[in-house]
Chains A and B, each alone.
Chain A
Amino acid sequence: MPMVMPKTARVPRMILAILIGGLLAVESSAGDAAVTFETDVQPLFTRFGCNAGACHGKSRGQNGFALSLLGFDSEFDYEAVVQQARGRRVIPAAPEMSLLLKKAIGEIPHGGGARFAVGSSHYQLLLEWIRNGAPRTPADAPKLVRVTVEPSSQSLAPKEAFPLKVIAEYSDGRRRDVTDGAAFQTNDKAIAAVNADGHVQAGPVPGEAAVMVRYMNHLAVCAVTIPLPGTVAPEVYAALPRQNEIDELVWKKLRLLGVLPSTAADDAKVHRRAFLRVIGRLPTPEETRAYLADTTSDKRRQLVDRLLERPEYADFWANKWADLLRPNPFRVGMKAVWSLDAFLRDSFRQNKPYDQFVREIVTAQGSTWRNGATVVYRDRPETVEIGSSMSQLYLGIRLECAKCHHHPFEVWSQDDFFGFAAFFSKVGRKGQGLSPPISGGEEMIFTSLGGGRKQLKHGRTGELVEPKVLTGPTPEIGPDDDPREVLANWMTAPDNPFFARVMANRIWAEMMGQGLVDPVDDLRTTNPASNEALLDFLARDFRDHGYNIKHLIRQIATAHVFGLSSIPGERNLADVKNFSRYYRQRLRAEVLLDAVNDVLGTEEDFAAMPPSSRATQLWTHRSSSLFLDTFGRPDPNQDPPCERTADFTTPQVLHLMNSPTLNRKLTQDDARPAALALGESTSEQIVEDAFLRIYGRPPTADELKIAAATLPARDQRRTAVEDLFWALLNTPEFYFID
């Protein structure tokens, strides 16, 4: 035990107040400033990187001195500092001799080098603490409840600087300036750098950066904006079109940055874009012609409404969701994959409210052959796996780091990880489990209540874990309650801070080509949204409309920003994340393959699918298709399957140009080019048809002239028509959403 010495008066109170730096402005009285472990000392371990993952914070410490990662375990840290090493780390009788100090100032060899100087405020603070007997913060002392940073957002000119102030709020309402003990990090130091004292320095170019502040286990962010030079009159923003709240919030952000949006895209472009984004297919020439001829003022809304009722809608969105949930049939069995696929398609066909959809997965019971939602449990037989997959998918929280240790850049601890996973500890299984590579058996998933239940053990402490939600109090779980029902209630409750946001962000990303938060399922303070107010609105609006996915899609597709041109102007040239223009994106593999077939009037022949099936209807990524492999789809041989990339690559170019399969399709007798060539159409009509099908717009006069000139007389024009289709299919205007 450390010697507890009476508090000495060797350091006058006045000096102490100065040491703790600027506290007086916020502190209620200087009398609260007694230096104690949890409140004053532990934060310094984070501030100086002592408890970082690469130093004493790693699970076995460094050179025999271990601290909890980023200070999440005060008991552990106090013992390590004060009791271990035979009390040499902290020596109240001769404070200057304490190893803690001598190492920190580099007086004796220290792998981490000198962290601060003798006489610095931090040195004096530690010295004072040791001198006073290294007291802990009393158990009944006010708890740290929140950390805020001032300012929380700042706009400044290039090369300007400003200081950050970090305020800790305690349960007794006390507020304390803890800037001196906080750690700072910027996400883009070329835009805005920050030093260890919290001084932010803007770089030479306009842009945005987020400066993260960590104090103990609390995080806060200051959004730094360096607007474009020059001013735009407020009237210009006021005059921008507003179809709904989305536009208002985007304009608000642009105004902050001094950015102006692009002009509106033309009708044909918006029409093609809406088709590809809402139902994943190209419009026919007839549909395009009708839309262009339509003169009603709300024709876009009518279009979106029509698209949302099309049967392709369900296939397209189910295909996207399948990326997230679909297992490898060799692992879980074909019938199980099939039934999961059916569950997804049915959910989107019914436009099942999203909260209900998630509830059905979280609480799934029954046969993996009949209730597809149960298959996620077959695929993830370990309780701890299912927990982290659920939190990532539906809450945007990546808990898997916290399985082994405190999450290094979030607030999640191992207790959170195991507490969340424990909701799934009563999942029971009967029947034939996984037996890859042939894993065809049926399994029953159920909830085993009452006695004989297994319970999850904590990975570090080995103690049995009770279910615990990630924020707020955990509801009472009676012996007859299914913990998964309790979890589903918490997840889908209107005040859940994550649930609606992560889905709103997903849908936004699917509609606009890029998430407000990226990656879309990694929502955390240290990865802020490019437009927080907009994400808040989308989440709230989604929730207030009964988690209606079609409503959310309609809101986005009818907003003015959805119809912006992709072509930048002078004041938004460098904007790549604030949606001041539409961002071009390559069609995803399935949509592109379907588009090729729609254009050519051909069909794909997939194994294990009925004739005339479309790629978006495939129930497994195991269906062999060189085309889909080339353009990217999740690899079912990997676990978890790799993400898709939207990148365009040289092999893709080559495939479109030279693939023997595609060339056969282009030139076969019953394909569209041959039919058009042999039909009665004039050269001009053929060109117009090709442009409408492939680009979703009529050709310009020039294009018409160039293309028509390549078509010879009717009886000799077949190869020329094929070549015209080849040429257009090999241009980016076809394979991009523009």
Chain B
Amino acid sequence: MTVHRNCEGLARRDCLKLGLGSLLGGGFVEALRLSARANPIATTKPTACILVWLDGGPSHFETFDPKPNAPAEIRGEFEPINTKIPGAYFSENMEKLAAISDKLTIIRSVKHDQNNHGAGNHYMMTGAPTRIPVSCGAFVSFHPSMGSIVSAERGAPDGLPPYFSLPEMTRSGGPNFLGAKHAPFVVGDDPNNKSFRVRDVTLPQDLADGRALNRRELRGQLDGMLRFRDRAAGDPILGVDENYQQALSLMTSEKALEAFAIERETESVREAYGRNSFGQRALMARRLVEAGVPFVTLNNGGWDHHSDIFPAFRKQGRAFDAVVATLIDDLDQRGMLDTTLVLVMGEFGRTPAISTLPGSKTPGRDHWSSAISVLMAGCGTPRGQIVGATDRSGYSAIDKIYAPENLVSSVYRKLGIDPDKILYTPSGRPTHIVSDSRPIPEVMG
């Protein structure tokens, strides 16, 4: 039996692993288990999530749900490869992830009904469908994103912002009614650059500390702009104040400065992650989690393969495979995987039929929200399992069908947040964190 930690608390199998079962007898173990249930948020170590967001909607066929027996016009160019999960195959470019698939759960059966980028991004990123229909190009926010909820519910120690997004914010990754202090802290600079540093978090070199303090004091005295404290008025200046406070704490946070100093990693670790922007951002994400940040989004664009899909997967697919496999492996070796959830997904899957759209010269696949593959690893997620299935041609999830609500609820549960909690918008309107708060049982361990 696989032993794994349930992030909600000390699980029964942990007790067994410690040998308590044999020493103290079933009754006591049962009591321990019950007490763990009664206090589900009691974690020994803080948990965190690294969301690898594949913007555009990655194909499930070319990643984790190949259909080798489908006709050629669906199957595509790639061969399936063996994984360490008996009977499960990945597409050939997911080689390194296949090699560590005994650490992963792949859910092949997430499904929703929002087939354009704006709406699909919102649904997967927040667990809530958009309130009104939106278009492909839309950047919309009707509900706080996962990262913002985690920021609000969990916070972060030592002046660190609780929610980071690298190198930019995702479309619907914003805080909505939670306000500016729960917006992601965006690190746009490229940690693969030799001169990388997170800009402006230190005082200018020639400015003495005392003078900086005087300046801030004077600012405080002269900042007389009237604020409307009632949140319903939507005063953006309240957000400015939150940003200002966050900026000040960040400037004085030893932990933050340490986390940003990626150059302190050994050369071999940096090489292992790959000397490219995405690889070094993944490494930065690990450093942020080590420092205590509970939610980091790595926004990785370019997965909207309406055309040119096969060459893209040979290059971009392989690069992605290498970085994410390294990240998971590294977390595991450092003993962080038990408390860190790595979540990999995009807004939807891709159409079974390979098509060449008007105006395109090379084939691709189009938006497809009926069959979405999601990768999860760590934080109590069972190691080495496939959850659910699509039909033999990959048209639709047919077994253990889960909605984004269930997926997002699982993430919250793992991070010790009750997805059923009611939050209040500034105008006093009650809103559940997730409208359907049932997690996916198979990933909860």
Contacts and interface: CB of A to CB of B under 8 A. Distances in A.
Interface in B361-417: 366, 369-370, 395-396
A398 B117 CA distance: 14
A585 B236 contact: yes
A459 B427 contact: no
Contact of B224 (A54, A526, A527, A733): A733
A54 B236 contact: no
B243 interface: yes
Interface string A546-584: 000000000000000000000110000110100000001
Contacts of A655: 199-200
Interface in B247-300: 247, 250-251
A301 interface: no
B141 to A, nearest CB: 10
A459 B358 contact: yes
A732 B214 contact: no
B243 A401 contact: no
B152 to A, nearest CB: 15
A382 B366 CA distance: 19
A728 to B, nearest CB: 6
Q: Is the interface of B mostly helix, strand, loop or mixed?
A: loop
Nearest to B130: A187
B222 A703 contact: yes
A216 B174 CA distance: 36
A145 interface: no
A727 B138 CA distance: 37
Interface string A581-594: 00011100000000
A733 B223 contact: yes
Interface string A388-415: 0000000000101101100011000000
B136 A573 contact: no
B225 A658 contact: no
B188 A650 contact: no
Nearest to A522: B135
A650 B115 contact: no
A574 B133 contact: no
Nearest to B113: A54
Contact of A584 (B174, B216, B235): B235
A658 B131 contact: no
A26 B243 CA distance: 59
A660 B204 contact: yes
Interface residues of B, number: 70
Nearest to B370: A54
Interface string A615-650: 000000000001001100000000010010101111
Nearest to B169: A645
B218 interface: yes
A655 B189 CA distance: 13
Chain A, interface residues (CB within 8 Å), range: 35 or more
B185 A519 contact: no
Contact of A52 (B113, B202, B221, B246): B113
B429 A658 contact: no
Contacts of A576: 233-234
B203 A658 contact: yes
10 contacts: A54-B370, A457-B358, A519-B138, A574-B427, A626-B199, A630-B199, A640-B137, A653-B243, A726-B215, A738-B225
The 4 closest A-B pairs by CB, nearest first: A54-B113, A459-B358, A409-B133, A654-B200
Interface of A: 52-54, 58-60, 62, 111, 187-190, 203, 205, 207, 382-385, 398, 400-401, 403-404, 408-409, 457, 459, 519, 522, 526-527, 567-568, 573-574, 576, 584-586, 626, 629-630, 640, 643, 645, 647-655, 657-660, 663, 700, 703, 706-707, 710, 719, 723-724, 726-728, 730-733, 736, 738
Given A384-B359, A459-B358, A568-B233, 11 more contacts: A54-B115, A60-B352, A205-B429, A207-B427, A519-B138, A526-B133, A657-B200, A703-B224, A723-B214, A727-B222, A732-B237
